[in-house]
Structure 1
């Protein structure tokens, strides 16, 4: 290892140790920084760490612009910290780093979602469990709004098939939370568990969703199979779009029911696992035409768009004391949303309805 790479590696490890001592997990960021040190060593770079060196590292990766922007941000924050004795001249340009690319969410209709789930059976016709795994997983994402990374991390003990409750461990804020599911989703999960156990009676892994090899379905495996399914269905979308769909469809349903949307937003935020329900506003990006789409129980001329619809987002109103008291009982709020609302029904509810315990 060159002297400069060794020096840089030492600073990186100190920075990682500092961030973790402050309570941050810092796993992905640590991987990016260590990869940068390897890049410096591999490229035999000897100059002080500068913007051009960092850009060379970032551009050495393929993938989306958003991924490159995230790596760039990790390096920029490291350089801003970079302790040196004696002080060195600033080598990082003051120019702002590119903003991460925000992809507009793709809000699927019921027919499009059904088509996506049907396409799962054609992902790998010779391995039926692979298609069943993806169909059930997509149904769970669509009916709960969970993050896909949390779903693949579910263990068997985290899914209570008797009471219809999913335990999500170490959420975005390192807390566990309970997510009640609709009875149709519960039935679909039971059916998948039976088919999975029939194929792998002696599982190699405690994961709830298994790959074709009997081990935990990885995030990369989910993404790969999801891409195959959405191409077969002819739909350009990402797994995270199902989370957007859950939030936007919920808002639309409340609007059609003439419910007090502002008062109900804390309920939606709680179910989605947001620490502050203002974070939910990010998921409420939609086309006003979708919001005002006719429903079977409301004539078009009877609809009144809520404030903020024209801008494509509904922002939460201040939380009153009554709402704050309600938010203390997360389980009660979540259960009300999961069991009292047709939105949380499993997308293939008719298929799952006949499945017993």
Structure 2
């Protein structure tokens, strides 16, 4: 007997009503969900055996490209069934946990393959912190985060090292230094050598904290200096470039999402004029924009800092125009809703989506190639804000050194040294600095010494 109990056949209709799909997509998904329901009603539980039977049936009717695009609605439907307690658990989520896979799509592809068991086994990922040093590294990450550090990049490096140790069990009895040496030799790239140096310093310091009889060795900064030479210089947008990008965003084609051009325009305005990171743009709430005082609040971002940024009058005007159009488009007026709101998904944009959207504007404006990673990055708008602000200070007769600590606070940096890393010497900036020296300091070279 099937555990699927829906005598009125309303579960699918209710789910589709809450999904807010386009009419054309709704009819396609309706057929998929009905076929899923028919197979589920012939099985005692919604488990892997039931999924295999449905994939076998549906695979005869649809091309793989159509199938992979439509299984996404099945993922959401399974979560919905768990929420309404029609099924005990999501079988796809169970398979993800079993094989330690982050995404659903690889699981679906494995189930639809000719040999599902073998394909699923190939997806198996090592257990996090499952190596001989796993507990030691996990405790170190917990300690650093309890001290107030985000420790995301470092934790990722430790997990990579942990996977290497699990794949090389012969190193289990080797000293820590030997493990690190083998890990450094696993990849010949210069960036990997830098990451290994930083990882080595963290682990050896952590070991010294537990066992002071093993003093930390001297840190080798040479790989970092070599990698810095190859680091890509940021692209500094001139005010004319930024204006061209804003015009491109205003005219961005978007028939299905009319609010998108103005959303892109406002994102770029805040990214450049306020120097916001992509994550800060994505996490902005509607209540963070205070048009009365002309400020915007950036909450708990990098370095766990919250800061209130004053905005120029022109930025406030653009922000007010966006909020008016957003309200007329039906955007939520809850102060905790996302400032940059997706009308079709009824949700805020994630940081990755913000980066992809602005990158598309850069490509359309001609600053980046049609494909590939070459060319300016979204973060370069933040670099450009710093350089152009210093250039304006020079042109206004203001000494930038007296204002750098204010700029550092505005950018949300931990110290002024982080702000100095953003100062890229352009030809215009070099010319202004040289002119300042000529008018102020050059006279010292011609002064005669007095006894």
Q: TM-score range by the shorter chain?
A: 0.5 to 0.7
Residue number among 398, 402, 409 corresponding to 1:270 in the alignment: 409
- In the alignment, which residue of structure 2 is the partner of 1:24? 149
1:10 aligns with 2:142: no
What is the CA deviation profile of residues 101-122 of structure 1, one whole-angstrom value per residue up to 9, with x for unaligned ones? Answer: 5432222122211221222343
Larger Rg: 2
SS in structure 1 opposite 2:390?
Answer: helix
What is the CA deviation profile of residues 279-311 of structure 1, one whole-angstrom value per residue up to 9, with x for unaligned ones? Answer: 432222222335537xxxxxxxxx962349xxx
Q: Distance in 2 between matches of 1:267 and 1:91?
A: 38
- In the alignment, which residue of structure 2 is the partner of 1:157? 287
1:85, distance to aligned residue in structure 2 (A): 8.0
Answer whether contact 1:139 1:185 (CA < 8 A) is retained.
Answer: yes
Residue number among 255, 263, 277 corresponding to 2:394 in the alignment: 255
What is the CA deviation profile of residues 300-356 of structure 1, one whole-angstrom value per residue up to 9, with x for unaligned ones? Answer: xxx962349xxxxxxxxxxxxxxxxxxxxxxxxxxxxxxxxxxxxxxxxxxxxxxxx
SS in structure 2 opposite 1:166?
Answer: strand
Q: Distance in 2 between matches of 1:58 and 1:8?
A: 24
1:232 aligns with 2:364: yes
Answer whether contact 2:391 2:428 (CA < 8 A) is retained.
Answer: no
Q: Distance in 1 between matches of 2:264 and 2:299?
A: 21
1:75 aligns with 2:207: no
Answer whether contact 1:50 1:92 (CA < 8 A) is retained.
Answer: no
1:13, distance to aligned residue in structure 2 (A): 0.9
1:189 aligns with 2:319: yes
1:173, distance to aligned residue in structure 2 (A): 3.2
Residue number among 405, 412, 422 corresponding to 1:283 in the alignment: 422
1:238, distance to aligned residue in structure 2 (A): 1.5
1:166, distance to aligned residue in structure 2 (A): 0.9
1:209 aligns with 2:340: yes
**Which deviates more, 166-175 or 45-54?**
45-54
Rate the CA distance shift 1:87–1:280 in 2: closer, same or farther, 3 A.
closer
Q: Distance in 2 between matches of 1:28 and 1:203?
A: 35
Rate the CA distance shift 1:37–1:210 in 2: closer, same or farther, 3 A.
farther
Rate the CA distance shift 1:81–1:292 in 2: closer, same or farther, 3 A.
closer
Answer whether contact 2:300 2:306 (CA < 8 A) is retained.
Answer: yes
Rate the CA distance shift 1:232–1:125 in 2: closer, same or farther, 3 A.
farther
- In the alignment, which residue of structure 2 is the partner of 1:108? 237
Alignment of 1:1-357 (within 5 A): 5-41=130-166, 43=167, 45-47=169-171, 48=174, 49-54=179-184, 56=186, 71-81=195-205, 83=207, 96-98=222-224, 99-100=227-228, 102-120=231-249, 121-122=251-252, 124-202=254-332, 206-211=337-342, 213-235=345-367, 236-292=375-431, 305-307=435-437
Answer whether contact 2:133 2:162 (CA < 8 A) is retained.
Answer: yes
Q: TM-score, normalised by structure 2?
A: 0.55
- In the alignment, which residue of structure 1 is the partner of 2:82? none
Unaligned runs of 5+ in 2: 1-125, 368-374, 439-451
Rate the CA distance shift 1:50–1:261 in 2: closer, same or farther, 3 A.
closer
Q: TM-score, normalised by structure 1?
A: 0.68
Q: Which has the higher contact order (CA 8 A, sep 6+)?
A: 1
Unaligned runs of 5+ in 1: 60-64, 294-302, 309-357
1:58, distance to aligned residue in structure 2 (A): 9.4
Q: Distance in 1 between matches of 2:220 and 2:393?
A: 46
